[in-house]
Amino acid sequence: MRIIRTIDEMRAAVREARRAGRSVGLVPTMGAFHEGHLSLMRRAREQNDLVVVSLFVNPTQFGQNEDLSSYPRDEARDAALAENEGVDVLFAPSAAEVYPDEFATSIHVSGITDVLDGASRGAFHFDGVATVVTKLFGIVRPDVAFFGQKDAQQILVVRRVVSDLDLDVRIEACPIVRETDGLAMSSRNVYLSPEAREQATALSRALDAASAVRESGERDGERILDAARRVLADAGITPEYLELRDALTLNTVTRVDSDALLAVAARVGAARLIDNHILKGDR
């Protein structure tokens, strides 16, 4: 596996692959790999000749009071894990390489960034995501890019960027990978104390409870949400948000007639965690 740190070298590696007629898959990450990341790498390996994993803690998607400085970083560990999964290139640029001093462009996606994490964290968050992902697509020019369904809103934002800017890349969303007790795998789980770690399982249990109500035939949004609220309240968790949104538009849903995104965010101990389920509609 090659570790590449400059845009020029990354582009050269892709040009070489293209000349040989090889397909290119990209897994964008911020490092601190866990099984969720590794599952994306395996999916990319199955489908592509050249697999590129980007490792870049993107400063533009963090707010002033967020965890940029403390975000877990261990490049040596991440590189070993990526190599073990058959990754061809680990693209690990510096912040100065991605955002040189004269950098003055930001990409903003309207509408779907105004709710959920956009409302909770601020518009800057998805501006930062959209901008860095667009840069990565321009540098790597992948045939397909792989993202985890845990970041459901992020996937919708990236798909909108791809559609609106006519970018020639397919976006593949891969299933959430969970611990045996249901907790969605996240790099931020390392912040959890043993007590908080146990408390955090309430997020997935809340989503499971709401999903069970929907699967029983219930369509009313408030009744579905109430099942999740009770589980969170019993665990002593006050969510930043717990909402039902249309799975494609993120419009508010009051009845689950078509597919809906049930999304939750909450601070548990020292970690801010997100999770979601897709509730199937009848049409």
Q: Which residues are catalytic?
A: 37
CA nearest to 267, candidates 79, 141, 87, 121: 121
Q: Which one-letter amino acid corresponds to residue 69?
A: S
Burial of 182 (0-12, 13-18, 19+ CB in 10 A): middle
Residue 52: CB atoms within 10 Å? 28
Judge whether 167 and 243 are in contact, CB under 8 Å.
Answer: no
Helix spans in the chain (H): 7-19, 35-47, 75-84, 95-98, 117-121, 123-140, 152-164, 194-215, 221-234
Q: Which residue has the tokens 């579905």?
A: 224
Give the CA distances from residue 129 to residues 56, 96, 112, 229, 252, in Å, rounded to whole numbers and listed in that order. 12, 17, 13, 30, 23
Q: Hey, which residues does 265 pair with through a beta bridge?
A: 241, 274
Please give the structure tokens belonging to residue 15: 């040009």
Query: Among candidates 89, 127, 268, 128, which has minimal Cα distance to 186?
Result: 268
